Amino acid sequence: MVAGRGERIAAVLRAVFAPAVLEVVDDSARHAGHSGARAGGETHFNVVMVADGFAGRSRVERSRLVHEAVADEFVGGLHALSLVLRSPGEINAEKSVTPP
């Protein structure tokens, strides 16, 4: 059985980043009729990932690393990724902040 794009993206991200948290969600249905959208979907994905490799890196650096890791998917029809990329330390810091 051939894995879908979301499973392939998740497998690559697990192999490259060994994340503590990883969510890959196909959001293509919300982009129907937009540029890059296809009838079969699998063109737009939301990715949430927490990985040690993001510590000390800027948002742009993190995004570039992820885009490089899944470059083959962009060649094969992936149009867009929405990324939330954090290090474990950032998650711990966010949890310790008390809302006003």
CATH of the domain at 30: 3.30.300.90
Q: Which of 70, 67, 53 is nearest to 9 (CA)?
A: 70
Q: What is the pLDDT of residues 78-100, one digit of tens each?
A: 888 999 999 999 987 766 555 54
- DSSP single-letter state for residue 35: T
Q: In angstroms, rounded to a whole number, what is the distance separating the alpha carbons of residues 76 and 68?
A: 14
Beta bridge partners of 94: none
Domains held by the chain: number = 1
Structure confidence by residue, pLDDT tens digits, 49-80: 999 999 999 999 999 999 999 999 999 888 88
User: Could you list the residue range(s) of the whole structural domain that residue 74 is in?
Assistant: 5-96
pLDDT-derived band of residue 36, with 50, 70 and 90 as boundaries?
Answer: low
